[in-house]
Chain A
Amino acid sequence: MTRLAALAVALALGSACAAPRRFPDAPILIVCPWAAGGGTDRVARQMAALLEQDLGVPVNVVNATGGEGVTGHSRGALARPDGYTLTLLTIEIATLHWRGMTSISPGDFAPVGLVNRDAAAIFVRADAPWRTLRDLEEAVRRAPRRLRASGTATAGIWHLALAGWLSSVGLGPTDVIWVSIAGSAPSLQELLAGGIDVVSCSLPEAQALLSAGRIRSLGVMADARVPQFPDVPTLKEQGVDWTLGTLRGLGAPKDTPPERVQLLAAAVRRVVEGDGYRSAMLQAGFTPAYEDPRRLASTLAEADRRLGGLLRSEAFRGLGARRLGPMFFPAVLLGALALVSLALVAAARRAPARDGAAPAAAPPGAGWRFAEVLVGIALYVALAETFGFVVTAGVLLLAHLVRLRTHPRVALPLVFVLVPASYHLFAVVLRVPLPRGLVGW
């Protein structure tokens, strides 16, 4: 009975999707390696909304965060190369593998198009004594290792930017103490609170505080002044030959069929060169920029070469050396956990099962039902990517319902309504992607 029903579900769904397909005819997913609400996320969602209008299929964003971009970039690179999964690449793709954090490099992506570039800039509190970058430089020279800076985690792009500036004016990259604070927003907040003296991050990230008059920018590491920030001088104007910034671009997994990449690249080009994207980006302080796949490929290769050289250079060795090693905190926790466990064991010995609340013996078959829940989830994880959410979840849900003795008269209609409805709710109404599978459902 169960098997028959399962077969019926599979057939019904399979036949609905058997028609020949043109690309794209299903939702496209943009993997954003950074958290919801951050700069990259805002660019990704803007891009998704406009690509959706251009391509005529839903374009969703998923935030695969963690590992300083490792998670998202590797998920995107290892996705099925069918053009339905794109990644919003950031400059970290060119640094992570040099830092030994992943094997994924720019070569694992087929570039689709550059969509934005933002240069690094240096910020101090509004009441700080330094009026120009030269003042700050002199302060560091007079008293090395006194000033503290942040903007991102150690060896992140804004750290490289600051260290590169220090090197290019003849100072050591460690002459300013880098406090590893993940993210520009908490770094700027720490700057205001007086915990650090300098922040290095992009202009749009600091725009709110800049326009509120709480901080000043001493210089931007771009070739020319950024139009939305005409008062911020470049480093070049101040006699320092150093530029660095982040870039954002779309990439597909490297084995994606070239004609699909071309189609997507044309759509991205139309979006980036359109007015909607331009004005939205400019208003948010971002610098819109476009490069076609070939240019983006060479830009990424160039960034990879340059940043790799920087990260491997003598000056950058030992940047990570620190007093409190990575295992300090876990060791403290394990020690405390051992102590608490000992105390618990001692307490249990002293008062053995005082209240007699030992759980009643499980009825026959309970162990099986228990295991089936977990096996069902394991099967889902194993099969959903191939068969898609609706088929996999439908079959497993039906099996589980029948096992718990829900009458098929109830179970069958429930599965047929609930599973497609949930898929529709998540993937279409709420725009939260679920596994699509080979049949596209």
Chain B
Amino acid sequence: MDALGPALSQVLDPTLLAVIVGAALYGTLFGSIPGLSATMAVALIVPLTYFLSPLAALAAVVTLEACAISAGDIPSALVRIPGTPASAAYADDLYQLAQRGQYHRALGVSITFSAIGGLFGVAVLVLFARPFASIATWFTVAEYFWLYVLGLGCAVVVSRGSALKGAFALLLGLLFSTVGLSPVHTAARFTFGRPELYQGISFIPAMVGLFGLSEVLRNVRSPWIDAATAVRPDVVSARQSIGAVFGGALGLLVRRPWASLQASAIGTLIGILPGAGADIAAWVSYGVSKRGSKTPDEYGRGSMEGLADAGAANNSALAGAWVPALTLGIPGDSITAIVLGIMMMKNLQPGPEIFDKQGALVHSLFLVFFLANLVLLPTGYLAIRASGLLMRVPRHTLLPVVVLFCVMGSYAIGGSYFDVGLMAAMGLLGFVLERGGVPVGPVVLGIILGGPLEERFVQAMTASGGSPWVFFARPSAAVLGVAAASVWLLPAMGAWRAHRRSRRGDVV
């Protein structure tokens, strides 16, 4: 504790505080624009960190990522486009709540629980970084394979309505992920000789199309677009005080404190694993939350609980990713990969000794972590208030602007017109799927996880010389395998039993 004094004085340096505030605003802006990911935001500030002190450089990254991931929820609520992939799991909940006039309340819940999850992750980082870091070194490709199977299972569990339709969407997404060059085989698949298809179907344009454009397409067909009064009075309530934004969050926290802790713990653990980050953390936590909920039917239709748990998980995963990065030099996600680059540039050697050799810096960094997760409350609040004004824009004006942002967002990530076309095609697909009652979220997860899933499978089989025993050979792999299988089999068995019961009922 005697390190706290000097650390505090370092953190209260005005330059550093200015960097934190600047990074918070930049991160909020970046996260709330669809198509721009938090990783991209961090990569963009790397040249700037050259001019900053080591602590300020890392503080900028920490604040930026926390604010970007939580601000990713804003466009979900506004126009149903997840700002970052980490928000995709509960985009429908946010949007539905906003449509029912709960825009401010829902986003208040999302940023409050982002902060709570973030603080939990930081606490783990501060207290248990050294013992927990070894988790990151246990996972071979076999364990990762099971982890991804587990994540995919969660998507089917969470899909609203029929699990069969969720599985259909998931398989569609997995199939999309096989388009392009297969890295493990170095062979092109489904490219039809077109060079643009080599890069495959990237998930950001797909996500923007499936969620955002499909919603526009549905809206332009609705009769209500022609109505003279396109502003729906129920969407916007007149005044939004701080209480209206944060009231819902406090109530939720008091009612179910353990659920938030559980969600944060899941998020942190997944964050520590190098092969999985904030997006998968949100999916898994959302699935767990739904399974444990008393009102599982609300999930996907506007569940405050679901968005609180998933929102806490994705932010806690961010801090979790720093655990192996600081103590082992293994990046926990794509952002900490960039962080390691910055640390090298600043002559900071990651490793167990960093806590001794760079004690002052590490302690200050931990304080910055706490600060970053607190500063996202006021910046988030401002962003919610400012973006809330957009809820008053009449639909016939908003929809074309949403199309514009879909186009910009899908182009921005890789500067490719193909991605814009892909976004449009995915918008059409999303429209068709949702008319048939098929959820679009699992499609996105399938695209994200399909590549790694296949790669880990082939890699494990290559390393074992073709013996499938490799997936159960290590105790950790066997445990994960059983967990993954149960996520898939339990709901299937439940559905089968319910089906039999209902048939018996029919006969009687």
Which A residues form the contact surface with B (CB < 8 A)? Answer: 29, 31, 35-38, 41-42, 45-46, 48-49, 61-68, 70-71, 74-75, 99, 101-102, 148, 150, 153-155, 177-182, 185-186, 188-190, 192-196, 204, 207-209, 211-214, 276, 280, 283-285, 320, 322-327, 329-330, 333-334, 336-337, 340-341, 343-344, 347, 359-360, 362-363, 366-367, 369-370, 372-374, 376-378, 380-381, 384-385, 393, 397, 400-401, 404-406, 410-411, 414, 418-419, 422, 426, 430-435
Q: With the chains together, A423 CA to B399 CA distance in Å? A: 19
By the criterion CB–CB under 8 Å, are B351 and A370 in contact?
Answer: no
Is A330's CB under 8 angstroms from B341's CB?
no
Please give the distance in Å from A337's CB to the nearest CB on chain B: 4
Considering the chains assembled together, what is the distance between the CA atoms of A285 and B181 in angstroms?
Answer: 31
B interface residues (Cβ-Cβ under 8 A, vs A): 29-30, 33, 36, 39-40, 42-44, 46-48, 50, 136-143, 162, 164-165, 167-168, 171-172, 174-175, 178, 180-190, 195, 198-200, 202, 213, 216-217, 220-223, 225-226, 274-275, 328-331, 334-335, 337-338, 340-341, 343-347, 349-353, 394, 396-397, 399-401, 403-408, 411-417, 420-421, 423-424, 427-428, 435, 454-455, 457-463, 465-466
Q: With A49-B48, A212-B353, A363-B221 given, name 10 new contacts (CB 8 A).
A: A45-B44, A67-B199, A75-B416, A148-B463, A180-B458, A196-B463, A336-B167, A373-B217, A374-B427, A384-B417
Q: How far apart are the CA atoms of A65 and B475 in the complex, in Å?
A: 36
Query: Which of A66, A211, A347, A422 has a CB less than 8 Å from the CB of B202?
Result: A66
Closest 5 CB pairs of A and B: A66-B199, A208-B329, A212-B351, A49-B47, A195-B140
Partner of B455, one of A45, A70, A182, A192: A182
| Cα distance, A54 to B350, chains bound together (Å) | 33
Q: Which residues of B contact A71 (CB under 8 A)?
A: 195, 198-199, 414
Residue in B closest to A210 when the chains form the complex, CB atoms = B329
Asked if B344 and A284 sit within 8 Å, CB to CB, the answer is: yes
Chain B residue, CB-CB nearest to A62 = B415
**CB–CB B404/A422 < 8 A:** yes
B181 touches A190 (CB 8 A): no
**Residues of chain B with a CB closer than 8 A to A214's CB:** 328-329, 351
CB proximity of B342 to chain A, nearest CB, Å: 9
Are B164 and A37 touching (Cβ within 8 A)? no
Residues from chain A with Cβ under 8 Å of B275 in the complex: 186, 189
Q: Are A207 and B175 CB-contacts (below 8 A) given A75-B416, A179-B463, A397-B404?
A: no
Q: Contact: B424 with A377, CB < 8 Å?
A: yes
Given the known inter-chain contacts A193-B137, A381-B421, please indicate yes or no for A66 contacting B459, CB distance below 8 A. Answer: no
Total A-B residue contacts, Cβ distance less than 8 Å = 331
Structural contact, B463 and A360, CB atoms closer than 8 A:
no
Give complex CA distance A283, B417 in Å.
37
CB distance from A185 to the nearest CB of B (A): 6
- Chain A residues contacting B47 (CB-CB under 8 Å) are 45-46, 48-49
Q: Specify which chain A residues have a CB less than 8 angstroms from the CB of B139 in the assembled complex.
A: 189, 193
* Residues on the B chain within 8 Å of A180, using CB: 183-186, 455, 458-459, 462
Contacts of A362 in B (CB 8 A): 221-223
Instruction: Say whether B462 contacts A66, CB under 8 Å.
Output: no
The answer to whether A68 and B400 have CB atoms under 8 Å apart is no
Contact among B42, B44, B412 with A434 in the assembled complex (CB-CB below 8 Å):
B412
Question: Which A residues touch B174, using CB under 8 A?
Answer: 333
- Contact assessment for B184 and A154 in the assembled complex, using a CB-CB cutoff below 8 Å: yes
Q: Give Cα distance in the complex from A182 to B186, angstroms.
A: 10
Q: Determine the chain A residues whose CB is within 8 A of the CB of B30 once the complex forms.
A: 430
Query: Taking A214-B328, A430-B29 as contacts, is the C-beta distance between A42 and B168 under 8 angstroms?
Result: no
| Chain A residues within an 8 Å CB radius of B420 | 377, 380-381
